[in-house]
A = this chain, B = another copy of it.
Amino acid sequence: MKDRISAYDVAEKAGVSQSTVSRVLNNYPFMKETTRQKVLNAIEELGFTRDEIARSLASKKTRTIGLILGDITNPFFSESAKVITRKAQEMDYNVILCNTNHSEENLNKYIQTLMGKRVDGIIVASADKDNQKIKELYDQGFPIILYNSIMEHDQANYIAVNNYKGAQLAVEHLYHFNHREISYIAGPSKYVTTHLRNLGFKDALDKYGLKMNEKFIYDREFSYDEVYLFARNLLNQQSRPTSFFASSDQMALAVLDAAASEGISVPDQLSVVGFDDIDLAKNQFIGLTTITQPKEKMAMLTLEKLVALIEEKEHVDAPIQIVLEPELISRKTTGIYKS
């Protein structure tokens, strides 16, 4: 590879100084139009593009943000990532993507790496409750926002849906459809998101006077295969649940998969409610009943707020703490239970 063309090369060709080149690159307004043109021409002829690394070092800004996701193959995350990257491009930011596979170790490692890369801000879409690193960043005033999660910290920035209420809506829906035996794919309560959904689920059971069957609760790590096996096993039991509430649509799909493998038809013999309202849930071949999150809105808002934090850190105002309302959308995977 031939040597790169630097601003000095351009300067020489244009017969000006490097700082003048820098000025036209940065749209400095007070310049003679002719010199600007000379520089522009030289840039054109040489095919020069500035070195963003050097620029970052000098300016202490990278115009890059880190996006930490739990699992990019979960449509909830990828659909969010799509919105965030599009918006980022519009605002002239780049996105470094990090996939933790739901491991806190990875999360910490990624935060470390991103800080080393001097990203201007971070969006965390898969935060463990009380994560220490994140709290440190809040304390330092570093621009960081939790997406789809909240954190109890007076400086915490987050944008999420009311997960507690979402879970309640699910139980309510199933209850009204005469379901009394509800299996719950909860996921580990180490995440605030799932923790809140778990609380909502339990309180809703209480409200309707239903007892919780521990055997019907899956509280291990999110894993398609594990949930598939769990559901399949449960469906083979003598006293099997009449319905499932899954803490994510992805996991609801695993339940549907398991049901299909056992020849159990949905919704006739089994009802399933998900959470997230991924695009696929709308697909009429599937028609998953689920709890909506205003993903698009949340994602846009998250990026906008983050950029605001980055670019106008002067007036830090109050921390950003936004909680949106979920909604239940009834489709084809739930039906009235007939005993």
Contacts and interface: CB of A to CB of B under 8 A. Distances in A.
A246 to B, nearest CB: 13
A131 B106 CA distance: 36
Given A82-B72, A82-B73, A98-B85, A118 B266 contact: no
A314 to B, nearest CB: 12
Contact of A82 (B1, B71, B282): B71
Interface in A232-290: 253, 256-257, 259-261, 266, 279-280, 282-287
A31 to B, nearest CB: 22
B53 A117 contact: yes
Contacts of A142: 1
Interface in A47-61: 49-54, 56-57
Nearest to A262: B284
A16 interface: no
Interface string A19-56: 00000000000000000000000000000011111101
A194 to B, nearest CB: 21
A113 B64 CA distance: 11
Interface residues of A, number: 58
A99 interface: yes
Nearest 7 CB-CB pairs, A to B? A97-B97, A260-B284, A256-B285, A260-B285, A78-B78, A257-B283, A52-B116
Interface of A: 1-2, 49-54, 56-57, 62, 64, 67, 71-73, 75, 78-79, 81-82, 85-86, 89, 94-99, 101, 106, 109, 112-113, 115-118, 140-142, 224, 253, 256-257, 259-261, 266, 279-280, 282-287
30 contacts: A1-B141, A1-B142, A2-B140, A50-B116, A51-B116, A53-B53, A53-B56, A67-B97, A72-B72, A72-B78, A72-B81, A73-B78, A75-B75, A78-B78, A81-B97, A82-B99, A85-B98, A94-B98, A94-B117, A96-B96, A97-B97, A224-B279, A253-B283, A256-B283, A257-B283, A260-B285, A261-B284, A266-B285, A285-B286, A286-B286
